[in-house]
Amino acid sequence: MGRRWFFAGSAAITVVLIVVLFANLLDANTVYYLEPREALDQRADLPDGESFRLGGLVVAGTIEVADDAVRFMITDYAAEIPVVTSATPPELFDAGIPVILEGAFSGDVFRADEIILRHEEEYDTPEGTLGS
């Protein structure tokens, strides 16, 4: 009888450890970010210089490239936030592209240290490339 309880307890501990390990791995691979409306709503809790991630779409007609900085706006269609960065934008960076920015507010401007392109879940192949 003692052996049976030992194996049952060992199995339960093993299952709990596997669940905890899986949950930690899932959490480590999840990227959390605020959208512009959320960031503005929580602005009082996000003091200047406090780093966080901001995600949204690059607004058409707002990209300005200067010698040392790139300026643009991002939106979630509920709010817009001006962005300035000295980071080199990824090759596919353009208007209408979803991005995640790592950085902090400086006044009303978000200063991005890093620009990451956010990939959508849907993929459309160019017409005529499959099945021809």
- If one counts the domains in the chain, the total is 2
As a whole number of angstroms, the distance between CA 87 and CA 111 comes to 10
Q: What pLDDT is recorded for position 63?
A: 95
Same-domain check for residues 19 and 2? yes
pLDDT above 80 for 128:
no
pLDDT above 50 for 132:
no
Q: What pLDDT is recorded for position 81?
A: 97
Same-domain check for residues 85 and 99? yes
Q: Which residue has the higher pLDDT, 70 or 17?
A: 70
Report if residue 124 sits inside a domain: no
Report if residue 105 sits inside a domain: yes
pLDDT band at 75, cuts 50/70/90? very high
Q: What is the pLDDT of residues 35-67, one digit of tens each?
A: 999 999 999 999 999 999 999 999 999 999 988
Residues 6+ apart with CB under 8 A from 36: 54, 56, 74, 75, 76, 78, 79, 80, 81
Task: Give the CATH number for residue 74.
Answer: 2.40.50.140
Q: What pLDDT is recorded for position 16?
A: 85
- What mean pLDDT is predicted for residues 116-126? 66
Report if residue 130 sits inside a domain: no
Judged by DSSP in three states, 46 sits in: coil
Same-domain check for residues 58 and 88? yes
Same-domain check for residues 12 and 53? no
Residues 6+ apart with CB under 8 A from 108: 81, 82
Report if residue 74 sits inside a domain: yes
CA angle centred on 111, ends 46 and 88, rounded to 5° = 145
pLDDT above 60 for 29:
no
Report if residue 132 sits inside a domain: no
Domain containing 61 equals 36-117
Same-domain check for residues 5 and 63? no
Q: What is the pLDDT of residues 105-120, one digit of tens each?
A: 999 999 999 998 876 6
Report if residue 63 sits inside a domain: yes
Q: Where are the beta strands (DSSP E) in the chain?
A: 52-58, 64-65, 70-75, 80-85, 98-106, 109-117
pLDDT above 50 for 96:
yes
Report if residue 42 sits inside a domain: yes
Q: Which of 117, 97, 90 is nearest to 57 (CA)?
A: 97
Same-domain check for residues 75 and 97? yes
